[in-house]
Amino acid sequence: MPLGVLALMGSGEIGPSMTKVHRNLLNRLPQPKAISLDTPYGFQENVPQMTEKIVQYFDVSLTTPIKPVAFQSYLASSAVAREQFKQAINSSNYVFAGPGSPSYALAQWAPLGLAQNLREVIERGGVVCFSSAAALTIGRYTAPIYEIYKVGDAPYWLDGMDLLGLAGLNAAVIPHFDNAEGGNYDTSCCYIGRRRLNELIAQLPEDYSVLGIDEHTAAVVDLETQTLEVIGKGVVHWISGETEKKFETGQTIPLSELGTGIRAQAAAVVPSDPNSVEDLAHQAELGGPNGLAAIARLATLASQGSESHIDPSPLIEALVERRNRARLEKDWALSDELRDALLLVGVEIQDGADGTTWKRIS
Same structural domain for residues 340 and 216?
no
Is the pLDDT assigned to residue 274 strictly greater than 50? no
**Residue-range definition of the domain harbouring residue 174:** 5-257
Domain boundary among 222, 257, 292: 257
Residue 263 counted as domain residue: no
Domain boundary among 225, 257, 289: 257
Same structural domain for residues 224 and 344?
no
Same structural domain for residues 228 and 80?
yes
* Position 317 confidence tier, pLDDT thresholds 50, 70, 90: confident
Highest mean pLDDT: which of 119-123, 261-265, 318-322, 357-361?
A: 119-123
Higher pLDDT, 329 or 260: 329
Q: What is the pLDDT of residue 281?
A: 61
Q: What is the pLDDT of residue 237?
A: 97
Q: What is the pLDDT of residue 53?
A: 96
Q: What is the pLDDT of residue 270?
A: 38
Residue 328 counted as domain residue: yes
Is the pLDDT assigned to residue 344 strictly greater than 60? yes
CB 334 within 8 A of CB 326: yes
Residue 290 counted as domain residue: yes
* Position 14 confidence tier, pLDDT thresholds 50, 70, 90: confident
Average pLDDT over residues 168-186: 95
Same structural domain for residues 119 and 214?
yes
Q: What is the pLDDT of residue 268?
A: 41
Same structural domain for residues 154 and 64?
yes
Largest CA distance in the chain: 74
Q: What is the pLDDT of residue 293?
A: 57
Same structural domain for residues 193 and 242?
yes
Average pLDDT over residues 14-39: 93
Same structural domain for residues 355 and 240?
no
Residue 119 counted as domain residue: yes
Give the model confidence (pLDDT) of 84-99 as tens digits: 999 999 999 999 999 9
Same structural domain for residues 341 and 241?
no
Is the pLDDT assigned to residue 321 strictly greater than 90? no
Ramachandran quadrant class, 300 (left: phi over 0; alpha: psi -120 to 50; beta: rest)? alpha
| Nearest alpha-carbon partner for 8 in 169, 193, 200, 138 | 138
- Residue 117 CA, distance from chain mean position: 9
Here the CATH number for the domain that contains residue 114 is: 3.40.50.880
- Alpha helix (H) residue ranges in the chain: 19-26, 47-61, 79-90, 102-109, 114-123, 132-136, 145-146, 193-203, 277-286, 288-303, 305-308, 312-328, 332-344
* Position 291 confidence tier, pLDDT thresholds 50, 70, 90: low
Same structural domain for residues 221 and 297?
no
Residue 268 counted as domain residue: no
Same structural domain for residues 225 and 288?
no
**Contact partners, residue 24, CB within 8 Å, separation at least 6:** 220, 231
Instruction: Report DSSP letters for 136-149, one per residue.
Output: HTTSSEE--HHIII
Q: What is the pLDDT of residue 263?
A: 56
Q: What is the pLDDT of residue 330?
A: 83
CB 39 within 8 A of CB 100: yes
Average pLDDT over residues 160-189: 95
Give the model confidence (pLDDT) of 50-69 as tens digits: 999 999 999 999 999 999 99
Mean pLDDT of the chain: 86
Q: What is the pLDDT of residue 296?
A: 62
Give the model confidence (pLDDT) of 185-242 as tens digits: 999 999 999 999 999 999 999 899 999 999 999 999 999 999 999 999 999 999 998 8
Residue 189 counted as domain residue: yes
Is the pLDDT assigned to residue 23 strictly greater than 80? yes
Q: What is the pLDDT of residue 299?
A: 62
Higher pLDDT, 139 or 263: 139
Q: What is the pLDDT of residue 166?
A: 92
Domain boundary among 257, 285, 301: 257
Same structural domain for residues 225 and 290?
no
Same structural domain for residues 214 and 289?
no
Flag whether the pTM goes above 0.95. Answer: no
User: What's the number of domains the chain is made of?
Assistant: 2
Q: What is the pLDDT of residue 264?
A: 47
CB 90 within 8 A of CB 120: yes
Average pLDDT over residues 111-118: 94
Give the model confidence (pLDDT) of 124-151 as tens digits: 999 999 999 999 999 999 999 999 999 9
Residue 269 counted as domain residue: no
Q: What is the pLDDT of residue 272?
A: 39
The DSSP bridge pattern shows strands 5-9 and 217-222 to be antiparallel
Residue 265 counted as domain residue: no
